[in-house]
Amino acid sequence: MSVRFVIDSLDFVYNARTHHGKIPLAGLLRLQDFLFEDTGSTGTLSYQISGKHDARGKPNLTIRVEGEIYLCCQRCLGRLRHTLDLRTALLVAKNESELSQADKDESVDAILATSDLDVLNLIEDEIILSLSISSRHPEGECEINKPEAQENNTAANKENPFAALAAIKKMH
């Protein structure tokens, strides 16, 4: 497990700080459920988090994540390469009132300011939220549509499906 990077979100914004680094996929435990088999144990993602005020003077955290992960195609259950190029701006709400006000605007993503914000958890949240509900290969690129898969399917279909039952019946 990698060392966690924790910030005071408002202090980070007010001092216009920036932090960048690499995250091993193995350190993102919740993301593992979305990855193809054990591909999550290797590889890294690059990230950068910056604090700044937006054009209206509101505190924002800007997150950028880049890298490559392998998801499971929901159509063929094969390995699906997914390139992450995530850029997110989060309004840092100073209190619950500001947060509920920001939630009314669907074009704004907001988080509540905390003095102990775990950046890696925040990045993992943003990655998971960016993923499709049903990740699939583009039309015609699934394993089930490839010629080798078609040959295997037609060979299996030529065999009588009741042949195995007949063999069992003869045994008894």
Instruction: Read off the pTM.
Output: 0.76
> Domain residues of the chain, as ranges?
6-137
Backbone angles phi, psi at 111, to 5 degrees: -130, 160
pLDDT digits (tens, 9 = 90+) for 12-45: 999 999 999 999 998 899 999 889 876 666 789 9
Q: How far is 58 from 98, CA to CA, in rounded Å?
A: 11
Q: Three-state SS string across the chain, please? A: CCCCCEECHHHHHHCCCEEEEEEEHHHCCHHHHHECCCHHHCCEEEEEEEEEECCCCCEEEEEEEEEEEEEECCCCCCEEEEEEEEEEEEEEECCHHHHHHHHCCCCCEEEECCCCEEHHHHHHHHHHHHCCCCCCCCCCCCHHHCHHHHHHHHHHHHCCCCHHHHHHHHHC
Dihedral sign computed on CA atoms, order 109, 112, 117, 121: negative
Angle at 152 between CA 146 and CA 156, to 5 degrees: 145
- Residues 25, 44: contact at Cβ < 8 Å? yes
Place of tokens 């850029």: 87
The pLDDT profile of the chain, 172 residues, written as one tens digit per residue, is 456 789 999 999 999 999 999 999 988 999 998 898 766 667 899 999 999 999 889 999 999 999 999 999 888 888 899 999 999 999 999 999 888 888 888 888 999 999 999 999 999 999 999 999 888 888 887 876 655 544 555 555 556 767 777 777 777 6
